[in-house]
Structure 1
Amino acid sequence: MTERMTAREVLALVADGFTPLAPPAAGDEKAAPAEGAGAAPADGPLAWAGYGDSRARAAVRTGEEESVLCGTAEVGGRPCVLAVFEFGFLGGSLGRAAGDRLVAAYAAAAELRIPLVSLVATGGSRMQEGMIALGQLQRVAAASVRLRAAGVPQVAVLRDPATGGGWATLGAGADVVLALPGAQVAFAGSRVRPPDADPAAYTAEDQYAHGHVDALVAPARLRDTLALWLRLLAPDAARGAEPAPPPYALRDLPPPATGWEAVRRARAADRPRAGAYLDAYFEVRAAIRGDRAGGADDRVECGFGLREGRVVAYAAQDGGATRPAGFRTVARLLGLADRLGIPVLTLVDTPGAANDAEAERAGAGPAIAEVFAAIAGARVPVTSLVVGEGGSGGALALAAPGATWVTPDGYFSVIAPELAARILKRADDQVPLTAGQLRLRPQDLVELGVARGVVGVDPVSR
């Protein structure tokens, strides 16, 4: 379990200044409906005996009036709206007043067009307010949808604990989800789990491993990490969504003489991989992880980076067979970049989509279809570079039509030469010949109109 901090301690840890938002008054259109014509009963909408006293004690103990503080602030010089939970106030639970504050925070972020950052520490909905409390999740979800439609990003930081509706709305519903190491992160709170449940399944680490959390961030790094994400998720309005230029090649090579030479180059162990291209292309970058459906593919890296001061989103295959979770993560990246107006760079390098039984059961076909659809429907420009193997539909899914380049040690093929020879019932010694017939060399791809060009090395670095 991570050390629990108060809301004020979290604010001091990450924020430069904090100006509270005024909670909406009863009757405000952003607030929940008032109970009749008068003020709310002291013991809440259910007349739960002792509820008023519990609230009063919580206020004295924490110095707060509610379980969540909302206001404007700067994190590393980047403006944002903060929603910070106080777990000491009735377990950070959500009731109607907390819902009012959160809806107002979403509205302020939309009006100011600055990101919303939620620092979540909650045990769930407040029992003493019954279905009124649970209904706040619908209000928060609706406010989140409005903010998303406005093109404003949302970042969540999961503290300890982040459970119940707070995890299922503000947490899991954010564009980027960060978590403190050791935090409890789960829909089921600690007192309502099956007695024989695996405790590891309810941790930030396990949620990260299964693609529900983008990064585990130690408290000491939280301010800098948040500041970077607030920069990376901000579109460059001055330059608009200009296409990202393709990276330079990292090796200066002549065109391959044969198709089989092109294949052997792309499969060489010492060939530069996607990570090397990303390192050379970006000054700084941060990754998103996972498909939000229980899977993560470590052979695919997606995220946002800064190149010459400009934000570019990226999705890169790293040489292995791409699994369904990898394709779904790419689709997630493309959707977020499109909504925020950020251009995209994809790096193609895979022998093909994973074709084992597990991949088929996990929906390889539907996952690939998601990426094809995301690129076809993208409103922002997508630039693609084949940096190694371009194996069939698993590679083509990441290639932008009309905006794909290739390196001198890359190739693109409808099918691997070995598989083509097998289908044609050719002997193994016919594989090199088959590679030539497939016309998969970089220069062939340009002549066929598949690639716009073969990239060279950076002339400055020669």
Structure 2
Amino acid sequence: MAEHGAVRALVEAIGRDFAEFAPPPPRTGGDGPLGWPGYAEQRARAAERTGSEESVLCGRARLGEREAVLIAFDFAFLGGSVGQDTGARVVAAFEHAREQRLPVISLIASGGSRMQEGIRALQQLQVIARAGLRAGEDGIPHIAVLRDPTTGGMWAALGAAADVVLAAPGARIAFGGARVRSSGEDGDDFRAEGKLADGQVDRIVEETELPGVLTELVSLLHPARPAAPEPAPVPAALGSVTSPETGMRAVERARSADRPRARDHLDAYFSNRFEIGGDRAGGRDEGVICGFGEHDGRVVAFAAQTGTATTPAGFRTAARLIRLADRLGIPVLTLVDTPGAANDAAAERAGVGPAIAEVFGAVAGARVPVTTLVIGEGGSGGALALAAPDNTWVTADAYFAVIAPESAAAILKRDPAEVPELAERLKLRPQDLVELGFARGIIR
């Protein structure tokens, strides 16, 4: 059986009724644009070995109740390399997705641009990147699956540009392939596990789990949505129903280890959800949970703080989630719970100020409605960045303040014994936030 059968088996396992697209007319004949000696024979041998005329298989299939466009690379065909005809097929697949309003799933295993076609091959990175960008601007989601290996141009122009990035366990993923890297390193930094730790991959998925995971994602991110979605409903209260008597009591309740946390609220709110993680710039913050879920039959995006100081990676991940939801027309729910932004030297080096600015900008620029529930600590600008202007609610277990009362005492050079008095002066209780016009109401 031709080796290409393995790729066809993969796409047929992922989706039912796979139908391959008719490829665009070939542009590369003979020994190609460079007249590379023996190139025609190389392509002929690859075609005989794999049963395909090119390194990519494109078509559409049904995943659950939805359809999607699939772009699958065949590493057995000249290392999954990209030439002019490969690029034309990928572009045509994205165009079909735009016309039919279907999500795109790219299954990548590629060594990069095809050297036998030189600069004509390298230019395909621009062509493919532009096709993906145009589809994204039209609200078409792109899910990439990084298989072994994914290196060079298809990591940079296709895989890393996807909205959600999955990876096979142990897959080699790097811009420079092992044979051309300046160092002899080949550890986790160049594999799926390292990319996950560095926030460049959302999840590592076993091949047996891939059909179910992709079906769930296609269901959540499918682009058939109303032009103006309704705001996400406010989650129900899970903790106290009575407001705190004093400011200090509000702070103590918000800091209590016994009150409901973000995962408790997400579990109660969503019937199912898919989490994404990482800022795509080398960072991951486990204290910020982002993703998409289903609530009463509707898809809602979420960004939730879990009570820790939020790092630059956490803010950038939240901004990434909000921008993606806005592009796909999905309403956003944010859960605020942080003592504040991380303020150590590592946070400053990683750009905590610009990262917070990204979230402020994402919320301010969102065309979809953003709903916020403050479920615990609302620590200054690090909490405010995720709060929706004019649509913020608060639980009875929460507070929100321009500064923590202990920090206020330090700044004012007051005795620590005066912290409770400062908590009163800050007017940070839930009922104070409603009275001052910051919150719309207390969820009980």
TM-score range, shorter chain: over 0.9
**Correspondence for 2:82:** 94
2:7 is the alignment partner of 1:19: no
Q: String of CA shifts for 1:163-213, please: whole Å, max 9, x gaps.
A: 111111110010000011111111111211234325221100100100000
- SS of equivalent residue, structure 2 residue 335: strand
Which residue matches 1:365? 353
Q: Corresponding residue for 1:187?
A: 175
Report the counterpart of residue 377 of structure 1 in structure 2: 365
**2 CA distance for matches of 1:18 and 1:433?**
68
Tell me the distance in 2 between the aligned counterparts of 1:41 and 1:104: 20
Distance in 1 separating the partners of 2:299 and 2:421: 44
Tell me the residue number matched to 2:101: 113
Tell me the alpha carbon deviations over residues 263-307 of structure 1, each in whole angstroms, 9 at most, x when there is no partner.
Answer: 000000111110110000000001111111111101001100000
SS in 2 for 1:311: strand
Give the Cα separation in 2 of the matches to 1:41 and 1:233. Answer: 39
Aligned-partner residue type, residue 328 of structure 1 = R
Change (3 A) 1:52 1:213: same
Q: 1:92-113 CA distances to partner (integer Å, 9 max, x unpaired)?
A: 0000110110010010000001
Q: Secondary structure at the match of 1:6?
A: helix
State the 1:42 CA deviation. Answer: 1.3
Q: Distance in 2 between matches of 1:388 and 1:84?
A: 45
Structure 1 residue 11: Cα displacement: 1.2
Could you tell me whether the CA contact under 8 Å between 1:236 and 1:311 is conserved in 2? Answer: no
Structural mapping, 1:239-318, within 5 Å: 240-318=228-306
Shift of 1:237: 2.6
Q: Secondary structure at the match of 1:348?
A: strand
- Report how far residue 12 of structure 1 moved: 2.7
**Amino acid of the structure 2 residue aligned with 1:12:** E
The match for 1:348 is: 336
- CA deviations 1:365-424 (Å, max 9, x no partner) are 100011111111110000000000000000000000110000010000000000001111
Gapped regions of structure 1 (runs ≥ 5): 27-33, 35-39, 457-462
Aligned to 1:171: 159
In 2, Cα distance between equivalents of 1:232 and 1:67: 30
- Counterpart code for 1:18: F
Residue 337 (structure 1) aligned to one of 321, 325, 328: 325
Partner of residue 193, structure 2: 205
Counterpart-to-counterpart distance in 2, 1:9 and 1:295? 35
Match of 2:434 in 1: 446
Structure-2 change in CA distance of 1:5 and 1:440 (3 Å): farther
TM-score by length of structure 1 reads: 0.93
Residues 246 and 424, structure 2, Cα contact 8 Å, conserved in 1: yes
Task: Deviation per CA, 1:245-269: give whole Å up to 9, x if none.
Answer: 1101101331100000000000001
Identity %: 61
Match of 2:375 among 363, 373, 387: 387
**Deviation of the 1:81 alpha carbon:** 0.6
Given the superposition, is the C-alpha separation of residues 72 and 128 from structure 1 closer, same or farther in structure 2, using an over 3 Å criterion? Answer: same
Q: What letter matches 2:111 in structure 1?
A: G
Q: Which amino acid is 1:293 matched to?
A: A
Tell me whether 193-202 or 355-364 shows the greater mean CA deviation. 193-202
CA–CA distance in structure 1, aligned partners of residues 183 and 240 of structure 2:
61
Asked if structure 2 preserves the Cα contact closer than 8 Å seen for 1:305 and 1:311, the reply is yes
Indicate conservation of the 8 Å contact 1:6/1:88, yes or no: no
Paired residues of 2:370 and 2:391 also in contact (CA < 8 A): yes
C-alpha distance in structure 1 between counterparts of 2:293 and 2:101, whole Å: 21
* 137-146 vs 13-22, which moves further: 13-22
Q: Distance in 2 between matches of 1:248 and 1:195?
A: 54
Give the Cα separation in 2 of the matches to 1:287 and 1:68.
29
Q: Is the 8 A contact 1:18 1:72 kept in 2?
A: yes
Normalized against structure 2, the TM-score is what?
0.97
In structure 1, the partner of 2:122 is 134
Match for residue 47 of structure 1? Answer: 35
SS of 1:366's equivalent in the other structure is: helix
**Paired residue secondary structure (1:347):** strand
The residue that corresponds to 2:8 in the other structure is 8
Residues 256 and 408 of structure 1 are in contact (CA less than 8 Å); yes or no, is this contact kept in structure 2?
A: yes
SS of 2:413's partner is: coil
SS in 1 for 2:166: strand
Supply the distance in 1 between the matched residues of 2:138 and 2:183 (Cα, whole angstroms): 43
User: Which piece of structure 1 moves more, 74-83 or 233-242?
Assistant: 233-242
Distance 2:187 2:100 in 1: 41
AA of the residue aligned to 1:419:
S
Letter of the aligned partner of 2:9 in structure 1?
E
Aligned to 1:436: 424
1:68 to 2:56 alignment: yes
- For 1:82, what is the secondary structure of its paired residue? strand
Look up the match of 1:37. Answer: none
Secondary structure at the residue paired with 2:61? strand
* Structure 1 residue 239 displacement after superposition: 8.3
Q: Find the aligned partners of 2:67 and 2:223 in 1 and give their Cα distance.
A: 14
Residues 305 and 322 of structure 1: CA distance in aligned 2, closer, same or farther (over 3 Å): same
Cα drift, residue 9 of structure 1: 2.5
**CA displacement 1:289-330 (0-9 Å, x = unmatched):** 111111110100110000011000000000000000100001
SS at match of 2:393: strand
C-alpha distance in structure 1 between counterparts of 2:38 and 2:73, whole Å: 23
